[in-house]
Amino acid sequence: MAESVLTPENLSKQVYLAPQKREQIKGNIQALEWALRGRSMYGGMDMPNDVPVFGYTPPEPDILRESVSRDRALLEASTPPDLSTVEKNRLYRRLKDLDAAITHDMPSYDMMEVPRENHVEHHMAWERTHKSAILERRSILRILDPGNDSPFFTSIEQLRTATPPKGDARKFFQQFDYIEFQEQTEEDLQVVDDTSYGHFLELKCAGWAEKTICKEMNWPKELYDVAMRRWRKAVTDGSYTKFLELQAIGRPAAEIRELLGWSQDFYDDATERWKHSVGMPAQTASALGERPPPRVAPAVADTPLYAAGSPGQEHPVSEPQDISIPDTPWFAPQREQDLALERSAQLGEMFTHRMTLLGLRVTDVATRLGIYRLTLGRKLAGKSTAAFTPDEAQALTALLDGIAHERGLVDPTDIPLGGQAPATAGLILPGVE
């Protein structure tokens, strides 16, 4: 017999019928052959052709021949093959191996009698894991003993015992032992489908923060970064041609960012894309301009504010301190948001120092600026997840400058922190001619 018929894959797909089923098929073939000869299908008796029988119409011969061919093919396919002794010995050894594998983690009698959740899950995993082995075992039994007419001859219940299983089929069903890892970067393994990406954009438009989006969509931070890169690439692709046109006519980087409405990160991405397309090394400096280093706020001196002097006394002139802070809209990359938070903490320390010197409370300043006091307090302490906006930093500086001018603590023409000139700038302070 061909070796391909006895492979485990073919044996698990083959169905050999029990002797009773095969005898029924043989009886059906005999009845159809009697009908083709004009005899009765029930016993093979001769039927008179000239005597009509009420309500009986003889079947068409073509239909009978087709039924006979179909039943003979079914009988041939479902009859176990006649093998040599060597082939039967080989199947018997295979049967022993299958029994050992099936019973290794087979649920016991007690587990089948008590329908607990873990017992049911264990049985389902065991059945799915050994399904092909169970079917192969049934075929081998039919081949080794084709005349066995016991209704429980191929039942798997003959192998079940009271011994607890030696293994847990659930881990094999979950394929923990068959995972093969490949050398790929984590970004290549992270994919955002279109539906999730659309929901991500909806949450972004609603102003949701990164942590809230990750919690809502059950995303790790790596998947969030993949969605952000896809979004930034889509925005850059929409105006990349305009970027090249402005670069071709020699416009400066600041003007290009302003015309396109890009952040520095968008501009850097477009620049790297252009450099890569023309084969320019990434470290090569070009006329496009490199990203300027971040400006560090100067340390706040623990010295009192300048007071108005006596007539004729020169007033010391202090250089305006840096209150610039990067504008970080909701679509800004995470690294820019982190830099903005760090810069916001520096400004909060500087503003807190000035408010202490002026004897101002957070509640008073928040009321005059129209900001919730807890929000302002967290930003001043550097504990807020949102940084100071450029408008908030400018308004707070202008307020502190105006209060200092009103109290006569500084020269009206000297604005220490670069805020807007207050309305009292034209007044004459006490003691100043």
CATH number at residue 379: 1.10.260
* Residue bearing the bigger pLDDT, 431 or 408: 408
Same domain, 391 and 411: yes
Q: Please measure the distance between the N-terminal and C-terminal CA atoms of the chain and give it in whole angstroms.
A: 122
Q: Would you say residue 287 lies in a domain?
A: no
Q: Would you say residue 244 lies in a domain?
A: yes
The 10s digit of each residue's pLDDT in 273-288 is 777 777 654 444 344 4
Please give the backbone phi and psi of residue 46, each rounded to the nearest 5 degrees, phi first.
-70, 140
The 10s digit of each residue's pLDDT in 379-401 is 888 888 888 888 888 888 888 88
Residue 296 pLDDT: 38
Q: Would you say residue 414 lies in a domain?
A: yes
Same domain, 395 and 354: yes
Q: For the chain, what percentages of helix, strand and coil (3-state, to nearest 5) are there?
A: 55, 0, 45
Neighbours of 122 (CB within 10 A): 21
The 10s digit of each residue's pLDDT in 190-238 is 677 888 888 888 888 888 888 899 988 888 888 888 888 888 777 777 7
Q: How far apart are CA 258 and CA 278, in angstroms?
A: 25
Please determine, for residue 432, whether its predicted confidence score (pLDDT) is greater than 80.
Answer: no
When pLDDT is cut at 50, 70 and 90, the band that residue 71 belongs to is very high
When pLDDT is cut at 50, 70 and 90, the band that residue 52 belongs to is low
The 10s digit of each residue's pLDDT in 354-377 is 888 888 888 888 888 888 888 888
Taking the C-alpha atoms of 14, 18, 22 and 27 in order, what is their torsion angle to the nearest 10 degrees? -150
**Are 226 and 233 within 8 A, CB to CB?**
no
Neighbours of 393 (CB within 10 A): 24
Please determine, for residue 168, whether its predicted confidence score (pLDDT) is greater than 90.
Answer: no
**Would you state the structure tokens that stand for residue 416, as one six-digit string?**
């220490």
When pLDDT is cut at 50, 70 and 90, the band that residue 103 belongs to is very high
Neighbouring-strand partners of residue 39: 46
Cα–Cα distance list, 172 to 125, 139, 282 (Å)? 8, 24, 48
When pLDDT is cut at 50, 70 and 90, the band that residue 21 belongs to is very high
Please give the backbone phi and psi of residue 39, each rounded to the nearest 5 degrees, phi first.
-100, 175
Residue 26 pLDDT: 93
Same domain, 103 and 43: no
Domain count, the chain: 5
Q: How far apart are CA 278 and CA 273, in angstroms?
A: 9
Residue 80 pLDDT: 92
385, 391, 350, 349: which is closest to 369 by C-alpha?
Answer: 391
Residue range of the domain that includes 247: 239-278
Average pLDDT along the chain: 76
Q: Would you say residue 212 lies in a domain?
A: yes
When pLDDT is cut at 50, 70 and 90, the band that residue 108 belongs to is very high
Residue 343 pLDDT: 87
Same domain, 90 and 165: yes
Same domain, 218 and 245: no
- 393-398 contacts at long range (C-beta below 8 A, 24 or more positions apart): 393/323, 393/324, 393/325, 393/347, 394/323, 394/419, 394/420, 395/369, 396/351, 396/365, 396/369, 397/323, 397/351, 398/422
